[in-house]
Amino acid sequence: MATNVIPWYKRKHGSQVKTDYAYQHSKTVVKQHTERKSSSKSVSQVQAQATEAMAEPAYTIPVFRQRTAEETEEYQRVSTNVGKGLAVIQEELSRMRITTKARVDSLNIQREVKDMMAKRPEFLDDIPKMPDFLVALRPHTVWEKTPVKLFCTVQGNPRPIVKWYKGGVPVDPLNAPGKYKIENKYGVHSLIISRCVVSDTAEYSAVATNQHGTATSKATVTVKRASGAGESCHLGLVPHLTDIHPSKLEVTLLDRFKVSFGVEGGSISLVCSMVVVPDLPNVPPITQWYRDDKLLKAGKLAEMSVGGGAARLTLPHLAKDDEGLYTLRIFTKDGTAEHSAYLFVSDAAPSVAGAPGAPMSVKAYDINSDYVLVAWKPPNTVNEAAITGYFVDRCEAGSDTWVQCNDAPVKVCKYPVHGLKVGRSYHFRVRAVNSAGISRPSRKSDKVTALDEAESQRLQGTDEGVPSAPGQVVATRNTKSSVFVQWDAPKSPKSLMGYYIDGRVVGAKEWFPCNHKPFKHTRFVVHGLIPGETYAFRVQAVNVFGLSEESQESSPIAVEPALGKGVEYATPSAPFGITMLSCDGASITLAWKSPKHCGGSKVNAYYVDKRDADSLVWKEVNQAAITERICTVDNLTEGTFYEFKVQAGNMAGVGVPSDPSAPMKCEAWTMDEPGPAYDLSFSEVRSHSLVVLWKAPVYTGASAVTGYFVEMAKKGSSEFVTLNEEAVSHRYLQATGLEEGATYVFKVRAVNASGVGKASQLSEPVCAKALPGTKEIVASVDEETGDIFLSLEACEICETSKFIWSKNYKPIGDCPRVSVSTKGRTSRLTFTNPDKDDLGRYSVVVTDTDGVSGSHTLTEDALNTMLELSYAIRHPVVPLKHGLNYEILEKGHVRFWLQAVKLSPSVSYRFIVNDKEVTSGEGHKISHDVATGIIQMTVDVFTRANEGTYTVQIHDGKAKTQSSLVLVGDVFKAALKEAEFQRKEHIRKQGAHFSEYLYFTVTEDCTVMLACKVANVKKETTFHWYKEDEEIVPETPPNVMSGACALPIPLFSRKDQGVYKAVLGDDRGKDTSVFDISGQVFDDIINAIAQIAGASASDLVLQCTPEGIRLQCYMNYYTEEMKTVWKHKESKIASSEKMRIGGTAEMAWMQICDPSDKEKGHYSIEISDGVKTHTRTFDLSGQAYTDAYEEYLRLKAAAFAEKNRGRVVGGLPDVVTIMEQKSLSLTCTVWGEPTPEVTWFKNEQEVASTEHTKVTFDGGKFASLVINQVTPDDSGKYSINVRNKYGGEFVEITVSVYRHGEKIPEPKLGQPKTPAATPAATPAATPVPRSPAPPSKTPTPTPSKSQTPAPSVKSPGSTPASTPVPKSPTPVPKSPTPTPKSPTPTPSRGVKSPTPPRFMKSPTPPRK
């Protein structure tokens, strides 16, 4: 029950409460109530027993009440449902009864306690007690300029007296009227602090005292300033409250991070300041950071912190993967507070000019035990060459060694990496490649472990090819530095990754990237644009196969606020920074800062209101508008605190009022030091410097101000540094050595003879960072007028902006020494008559911008240089591109000319030769061309009389100049010689002549052509060729009417050296061209032939001969004069008996005679054309050498057998016709080693030696068959078979016998049998070399004719027998096996036949 609960104000002071009468009384009442409850329980038990004793006997159901089975079932069903309902009702009634009883008991106890408490004073008056805080002070955190109330409840007897302290110092409301109020009502003591300021942050204490002792309660008050938590004060005494959850805090976002721009490899911080109530150091609010709606986790790439009144996200290693929309989400008492802004990350400078940017978003898919699929996003290419591929690198986790995975660039944005080790972890990165080089590597992927494929993410299938181009692009206005771009998605997305947006300034050719990471949506805000410029945009779609075609350009759009000119009608924002400059006890002089936004038109009025610090009623100070930002408020009461506020007005009206100033006490300033300077402003803010400006103090002190000191500190720091060691007399100072991107605050102190005065109000924080596109003031000279001027092109401007020029930071205004003109975003300050009085530092400020300004110091040296240039412009000379020069024309004319940069139509000039003016007339032609700026004089006949000095004087408006040329001595002689030559050339060309003299060319078949071109010919013109004065008559007569003649020299060699001459002539005269083919010319021709022949050279082929192994190289043409080198194992081969080198017109060869194992190895032929060397190789080793060597041995044996086989050398006729009864002698010479056997046959039957047919063989050389007295029966086909162990030859003779008186029959040649002449020693199967071997162009060596005896012919009409050798067929280059042009012809005489053919009958007579 509630009676058991200890009162909340007694929890911390249990020891003191035990002596409290009220507490003891409460315990007594509780005890009585408990006893009452227990007694009620016993009574209820007695009643229950009595009820049981009084119970009646059990009820017996009458017969008429008894039910049937169905009725009983229905009754049970109904009674069950009713029973359940009754149980619920009974339970609810019981609960209500218990609740009602508890409430009644509670009311009774409260009534009894109240009655007892009414009697308490009577007891307390008699009990002494030291002070005790029933309700202690609690800490507070409040905003600046808001009140705070500290209160406590204290008890004691006698009643204690309470005093208040701030930091141990008593609080006296009289010392600060209106600041503090102390109250004591109904035992509650309170201290009210009105309009808190930061200095009110302190530890406050309430001290209660009576005659029995003292008690103290303390609490901390923290005052926060709305501009940021950095200026609040913490004393470290905030109580540790662990029972407050972070999501229950009240959070208000203040300064928020804006659209940011970073560069790869750099770092950036996104900071958002906030106010947290209550601000507990150990309970920071819960914050989350997102990029493109994806939650970020703290790590090495993203550092997060929250505390000190700010949430910060730091990206220490920027990459294009970090580009995106960043969102800060803070969980508050009322839900969430969010803020988003875009971060752009541009490409770092490439390692090679023109190389592409790095790829991004490298991720591994389809992870298996031995390979993964790596995918990435391609970079944007705007002005770089197209990407040709990518290299993928891998690195084991924990190692810094990167290994390239692919040898050749892969063209799509995915690549399977193989060769991974199971269980190992890897990182991957990608580099892009184009024609200029390789990009920087991408950010490495997350760690990937080679594992089972079931645990990995799959890469979705992608359509082949790049997506189609996006549709229509539309750009609309957004802000003064951004544009909203949207477009239609491509018709064929093909697994789209996102889009790249490019922009360009209208009129410029180069595009710039607007984003560096593919953006997924079809709308994008392009930031960082220059106000006032006009832009166009285009879009490209991206997938793994690359970038699509560019979309069509958007319509041009000018960058300016979306409200347009409606902004002119807005009122200005509130002024701020109200400060007191002086006070004389009856008036206060105030100053304030201009509104940050003028509303679209100039601020032309200020209105000031005032009130007492203790009052809520504002009173107007001025009825008429104040145009300056300073005002003296009169009729004030000395010693009173006042507050002020200011409103600004423009043509649209009066804007919102400023926040009330801090309370200012109207108290006369009597110090000797000067008052504060005021109106601190900044100009020329750059990355490492800025200029601070201020106005002189209104209160100067006891003496005049002699200088100023400027102090600086980083925002949030209290450590100020004085920038100047000695006081500066002027009211500006340049601060240098600043840290780029850091924020600083400044204050200024004035100095007089009495010392350093009060510090000015702190300036507004300023960031040391130049505006994008900032340009400096340029000092130059106008090229047309010669005016000296200073100009500034503003990086941003609006319609209400104005350029304010100053000299030494004092506005120039209307000054006769200078004039100011403005055109677009450029303002020019022109000096009227510049001299030394104009030296100094000039600056310009562009109003209604974010601080666009610049300065330039005009020095004496720079002014003198510009004065010289100005004089040259105002007293001009005609600029010349080329001074006076000469050239020799056709016909021997000489042209003197010069060229001016520019000429006007009214130009005048004259030529002076040897101090005499020359005019256009006979022998001289003078003219000029305004378009080209050329002035010329042509001398028709140039002779020795023309030697001398030539001068041209030019007058063109105000400008004039002259140029001279001295043409004497050797220079004149060279000009005269050239003029005479041109004159003769002109005469020569009047008749038939050579337009191009003899020169040579080489055709594809290596034929050298001596060619020339002729002109001005006719049909009667003759043309003759000569070599060494001997006429050459070509097969095709030259055709002069074609304009060209040529003399072919086929199979060119050293024999073709000599002096060639071509003579062209007719009745108008003749012309001669001479060409000497010798020396260098001959070498050039040979090199030209070698160039064509070397390019046509076939691969080396192997050809075996009986003498050895031959390597052959076929080409269009070969001559020994070509620079040809054979090499064996890189060693040059010289021709010798062992290694023979030679060639024909169709090939070059090298023969290895009697080869051995030493000749194995790599062979090559090098054909040099003086520029390039053509090389062909052959590896003569291994099986190739073995097969070639075996073929060589076979051919050597066959040649030996061919040389020594039996054969008929000569003497036998083909056909013999003889009259009967005469004797026929068939005699022939045979040869063979050893001596062959000779057998004669008749009609394929061997002829035995008889008286009728006598067979003889004399000396092993002469074989004969003599038939005595021939008869018709002797007619037939005779043959002789000459044979030894190496083979033989079978020769046939047809014999016809006619009778006396018959007509001699025409001889009919018998049908010889097909030869079957294969040497006996030749193996049945001849191995074929593996290398293709075209037949040799040189016939295979055969026995010399000297070894063959002279034939002996006895029969008339007999002809010597011979074995015709077929001509080798012409090889087909690069053909494995050349095909002969025609089949081997059938021999007309005998054929080799060591054995008779199968179809012939056996020459051996059958036995009888």
Q: How far is CA 924 from CA 893, 946, 948, 963, in A?
A: 10, 12, 16, 19
What pLDDT is recorded for position 110?
79
Contact between 1143 and 1374 under an 8 Å Cβ cutoff? The reply is no
Q: How far apart are CA 471 and CA 1180, in angstroms?
A: 67
Q: How far apart are CA 711 and CA 842, in angstroms?
A: 24
* Residue 285, CB-side half-sphere exposure with 13 Å CA sphere: 31
pLDDT reading at 1072 higher than 60: yes
pLDDT reading at 163 higher than 50: yes
- 1-10, 961-970, 1241-1250: range with lowest mean pLDDT: 1-10
Report the chain's mean pLDDT, rounded to a whole number: 81
Contact between 1403 and 1245 under an 8 Å Cβ cutoff? The reply is yes
Q: How confident is the model at residue 175 (pLDDT cuts 50, 70, 90)?
A: confident
Buried b (16+ CB within 10 A) or exposed e, 42-65: eeeeeeeeeeeeeeeeeeeeeeee
pTM of the prediction? 0.36
Angle at 1081 between CA 1005 and CA 1026, to 5 degrees: 80
Could you say which DSSP state residue 1343 is in? Answer: -
The SS3 call for residue 983 is: helix
Angle at 950 between CA 946 and CA 956, to 5 degrees: 145
First to last CA, the chain: 161
Q: How far apart are CA 1164 and CA 1170, in angstroms?
A: 18
Q: How far is CA 819 from CA 789, 815, 822, 861, 868, in A?
A: 9, 7, 10, 22, 21
Residue 65 or 449, more confident = 449
| Mean pLDDT score, 140-157 | 88
Q: How confident is the model at residue 1394 (pLDDT cuts 50, 70, 90)?
A: very low
Q: How confident is the model at residue 1153 (pLDDT cuts 50, 70, 90)?
A: very high
Within 10 Å of residue 596's Cβ, how many Cβ atoms?
12
E-assigned strand segments in 264-386: 268-277, 286-291, 294-295, 303-307, 310-315, 324-332, 335-346, 360-365, 372-377
Summarize pLDDT for 633-674 with one digit per residue, the tens: 999 999 999 999 999 988 766 788 898 898 999 999 999 999
What pLDDT is recorded for position 125?
55
Residue 31 or 171, more confident = 171
pLDDT reading at 570 higher than 70: no
Report which of 851, 801, 825 is spatially closest to residue 600, judged by C-alpha positions: 801
Within 10 Å of residue 1315's Cβ, how many Cβ atoms?
17
pLDDT reading at 974 higher than 80: yes
Q: How far apart are CA 1060 and CA 1073, in angstroms?
A: 8
Buried b (16+ CB within 10 A) or exposed e, 980-1018: eebbeeeeeeebbbbeeebebebeeebbbebbbebebbe
Q: How far is CA 1136 from CA 1133, 1150, 1154, in A?
A: 9, 10, 12
Report which of 364, 261, 360 is spatially closest to residue 319, judged by C-alpha positions: 360
What's the Rg (C-alpha) of the chain? 61
Contact between 1315 and 1236 under an 8 Å Cβ cutoff? The reply is no
Report which of 552, 548, 433, 460 is spatially closest to residue 498, judged by C-alpha positions: 548
| Mean pLDDT score, 1276-1298 | 91
What pLDDT is recorded for position 1368?
37
Contact between 768 and 685 under an 8 Å Cβ cutoff? The reply is yes
Q: Residue 278: enclosing H or E segment and its boundaries?
A: none
| Mean pLDDT score, 1132-1149 | 92
Q: How far apart are CA 1029 and CA 1061, in angstroms?
A: 8
Q: How far apart are CA 151 and CA 72, in angstroms?
A: 77
Which range has the top average pLDDT, 30-44, 638-652, 853-867, 1200-1214?
853-867
What pLDDT is recorded for position 253?
83
- 281-290, 307-316, 882-891: range with lowest mean pLDDT: 281-290
pLDDT reading at 458 higher than 60: no
Largest Cα separation within the chain, whole Å, is: 201
Summarize pLDDT for 762-777 with one digit per residue, the tens: 998 999 999 888 899 9
Summarize pLDDT for 900-910 with one digit per residue, the tens: 999 999 999 99
pLDDT reading at 1333 higher than 70: no
What pLDDT is recorded for position 452?
54
Q: How far apart are CA 495 and CA 136, in angstroms?
A: 68
What pLDDT is recorded for position 1069?
87
| Mean pLDDT score, 320-331 | 90
The set of residues, in sequence order, having a beta carbon less than 8 Å from that of 661 and lying 6+ positions away, is 578, 579, 590, 643, 644, 645
Name the token pair of 859.
Answer: 């020095």
Within 10 Å of residue 70's Cβ, how many Cβ atoms?
8
Q: Residue 1008: enclosing H or E segment and its boundaries?
A: strand 1008-1015
pLDDT reading at 1396 higher than 50: no
Task: Say what percent of the chain tops pLDDT 90.
Answer: 45
What pLDDT is recorded for position 94?
78
| Mean pLDDT score, 393-404 | 90
Q: How far apart are CA 840 and CA 998, in angstroms?
A: 75
pLDDT reading at 1014 higher than 50: yes
Summarize pLDDT for 491-516 with one digit per residue, the tens: 888 788 899 999 999 988 889 999 98
Contact between 321 and 300 under an 8 Å Cβ cutoff? The reply is no
Burial class for 578, CB neighbours closer than 10 Å (0-12, 13-18, 19+): buried
What pLDDT is recorded for position 913?
93
pLDDT reading at 826 higher than 50: yes
| Mean pLDDT score, 551-579 | 74
What pLDDT is recorded for position 503?
94
Report which of 1239, 1243, 1219 is spatially closest to residue 1228, judged by C-alpha positions: 1239
What pLDDT is recorded for position 67?
60
- 91-105, 110-124, 711-725, 1048-1062: range with lowest mean pLDDT: 110-124
Summarize pLDDT for 269-310 with one digit per residue, the tens: 999 998 887 777 778 888 999 998 889 999 989 999 998 889
What pLDDT is recorded for position 1311?
41
Q: How far apart are CA 337 and CA 294, in angstroms?
A: 17
Q: At what angle do helices 69-118 and 21-53 cross, to 10 degrees?
A: 150
Q: How far is CA 428 from CA 40, 396, 409, 680, 1277, in A?
A: 83, 9, 16, 54, 94
Summarize pLDDT for 110-125 with one digit per residue, the tens: 777 777 766 655 555 5
Q: How confident is the model at residue 247 (pLDDT cuts 50, 70, 90)?
A: low
**The total number of residues written for the chain in this structure:** 1408
